[in-house]
Chain A
């Protein structure tokens, strides 16, 4: 196996044992990047020279017995909403022309301290306000969407041009592209990972989290990211925690909620079959399946929009008045129309969220994890705007991709997407595991147990 194909955990073990140097790993990933990036368009900026220099420093440290932990010498990418001092944070938007971050975001600081090596910044749907990331192509089929908004990060990880990456998730923007590109994505509990220095889409819905090749890798990255930062007003005062799951696969006694409503409605039959098969694997590991009814499903989209649209409008209020022509059309019209929403609309959404959180908390007293599809369909063709379901219902692609992800953004519960197979066209399918607030250890344990029952996944092949 070539170094760029290694999972983070495998690369870390090799670096720690001095079987692999950070220089070899970074060189391998940059060589891969040179070959495939022209076909995929995952990156806004590649910092190869700095990455090679950092790799030499990491190698020097390792040679002198200074090992920072499992991220030591691991090459990674950051979604280009995440500030790195001295670099532009473009948000993949012309609005940010000439931008230069004056300080590191909290997550960039923490990854740097943990020894990770920045390879570059990855594309987002403009300002994270969309689900396709049109600049980037799917890692499995170039004529399909990457998903979004963290499309560049997911494609980089899936194609071997970053060993891991960070994304942000306001209505599924980590989980959607992770699922569509066959990699793991974790939206942590609201407030677990500080957002200081990360461009906001919607303050009350935004999360930062890892996109990785395995669940174990996501746990290793989360360990470096999590922890209180008073500069993010939503940050939780959590002590440092090690999230790496144990090796056991026994799920005896674990109660897995199987939604009777919502999560399997208007879902492509191949997606449903793959997810139900994976849930069967969890049952075979000892978990007990418990039917659950998802509360307030009629109000999920209304609550998500009622929160996100006015908050995004508030963030962009200034630039929408000074440089509106610099936004792409799809984002500009949403921001403009969002200005016409009333305070009553927004407050109803916030009150609905209070109700929804309480009802989800009650539901999550009955089960430990909920298992469901991450997205209702695999990656659609680039340029497709709607889906038509067998009952004749027409749904926009962005509504469909947000639909099963939004509840975790509204309620703040953690949600993990894990690859569970491919459709007949070879496009990846993701299973979503949702847990109680701060229930990441349970999600990671279940996801890791599932992965251990499956053969190791290869890199995407579209490139």
Chain B
């Protein structure tokens, strides 16, 4: 699957957008780890989720557990 790798300056810019200012000497290491994490989680894009909700869907009121399912 083609994915766009983040360069160190791009990683720094993305981090800054998230409110995290990275010292220059950390840009390369953070970009490398971010690209690795991305390569791991990107595989989830293969799944056809259709109408499947996220597991963390909110339940108001009395909790019912479905552990016996």
Measured in the bound complex, the distance between the Cα atoms of B55 and A349 in whole Å is: 9
Across the interface, do A299 and B43 meet the contact criterion of CB distance under 8 Å? yes
Q: Does residue A229 face the partner (Cβ distance < 8 Å to B)? A: no
Instruction: Report yes or no: A351 in contact with B37, Cβ–Cβ below 8 A.
Output: no
Q: List A326-347 residues whose CB lies under 8 Å from chain B.
A: 333-334, 336-341, 345, 347
Instruction: Report the bound CA distance from A347 to B46 in whole Å.
Output: 14
Extra 12 A-B pairs, beta carbons < 8 Å, given A437-B67, A437-B69: A189-B67, A299-B47, A302-B41, A309-B37, A333-B26, A339-B20, A345-B44, A348-B49, A351-B47, A355-B47, A361-B69, A436-B68
Contact B44 A303 (CB under 8 A): yes
Contact with A along B13-49 (1 / 0, CB 8 A): 0110011111000100111011011101111111101
Point out the residues of chain A lying under 8 angstroms from B43, CB to CB.
298-299, 302
Mostly helix, strand, loop or mixed at chain A's interface? Answer: helix
Give Cα A421 to B19, complex, Å: 50
Interface set of A (CB-CB < 8 Å, partner B)? 189, 191, 204, 236-237, 298-299, 301-303, 305-306, 309, 320-321, 333-334, 336-341, 345, 347-355, 357-358, 361, 412, 436-438
Taken together as a complex, chains A and B put the C-alpha atoms of A333 and B63 apart, in Å, by 37
Q: How far is the CA of A320 from the CA of B30 in the complex (A)?
A: 13
Interchain residue pairs with CB less than 8 A apart (17) = A302-B44, A306-B41, A333-B29, A336-B33, A337-B31, A340-B34, A341-B41, A347-B54, A348-B41, A348-B47, A350-B55, A354-B52, A355-B49, A412-B67, A436-B68, A437-B69, A438-B68
Would A339 and B18 count as touching, CB distance under 8 A? yes
Whether the pair B18, A237 counts as a contact (CB closer than 8 A) is no
Q: Which residues of B contact A301 (CB under 8 A)?
A: 40
Which chain A positions have C-beta within 8 A of B26? Answer: 333, 336
Cα–Cα distance between A143 and B14 once the two chains are bound (Å): 40
Given A305-B40, A334-B33, A348-B47, are A204 and B55 also a contact pair (CB < 8 Å)? yes
Q: Which A residue's beta carbon lies closest to that of B64?
A: A237
Which B residues lie within 8 Å of A355 (CB)?
A: 47, 49, 52
Report the tally of A-B residue pairs with Cβ distances under 8 A.
110
Write out the residue numbers on chain A whose beta carbons fall within 8 Å of the beta carbon of B45: 348
With known contacts A191-B65, A236-B67, A333-B30, A340–B44 Cβ distance under 8 A: no
Which B residues touch A336, using CB under 8 A?
15, 20, 22, 26, 30, 33
**Minimum Cβ distance to chain A for residue B19 (Å):** 7
Q: For residue B22, which residues in chain A have a CB less than 8 angstroms away from its CB?
A: 336
A residues less than 8 Å from B47 (CB atoms): 299, 348, 351-352, 355
CA–CA, A348 and B22, complex, Å: 27
Q: Please name the residue on chain B nearest to A329 by beta carbon.
A: B29
- Minimum distance in angstroms from B49 CB to a CB of chain A: 5
Note all chain B residues with C-beta closer than 8 A to A302. 40-44
CA distance A412 to B55 in the complex (A): 11
Task: Please indicate the chain A residues that have their CB under 8 angstroms from the CB of B11 in the complex.
Answer: 337, 340
CA distance A352 to B49 in the complex (A): 8
Instruction: Please give, as numbers and ranges, the residues of chain A lying within 8 Å of B65 by CB-CB distance.
Output: 191, 236-237
Given contacts A339-B15, A340-B6, is CB(A320)–CB(B20) below 8 Å?
Answer: yes
Smallest Cβ distance from B59 to chain A, in angstroms? 10
Which of the listed residues B43, B54, B67 has the most CB atoms from chain A within 10 Å of its own CB? B67
In the bound complex, CA of A340 to CA of B36 (Å):
11
Task: Please list the 9 inter-chain residue pairs (A to B) with the smallest Cβ-Cβ separation, ordered nearest first.
Answer: A350-B54, A437-B67, A337-B33, A337-B34, A348-B44, A353-B55, A340-B34, A306-B41, A339-B18
Q: Does B56 count as interface, using CB distance less than 8 angstroms?
A: yes
Task: Decide: B33 and A352 in contact? CB cutoff 8 A.
Answer: no
Is there a chain A Cβ closer than 8 Å to B53's Cβ? Answer: yes
Partner of A349, one of B41, B67, B68: B41
Whether the Cβ atoms of A340 and B54 lie closer than 8 Å is: no
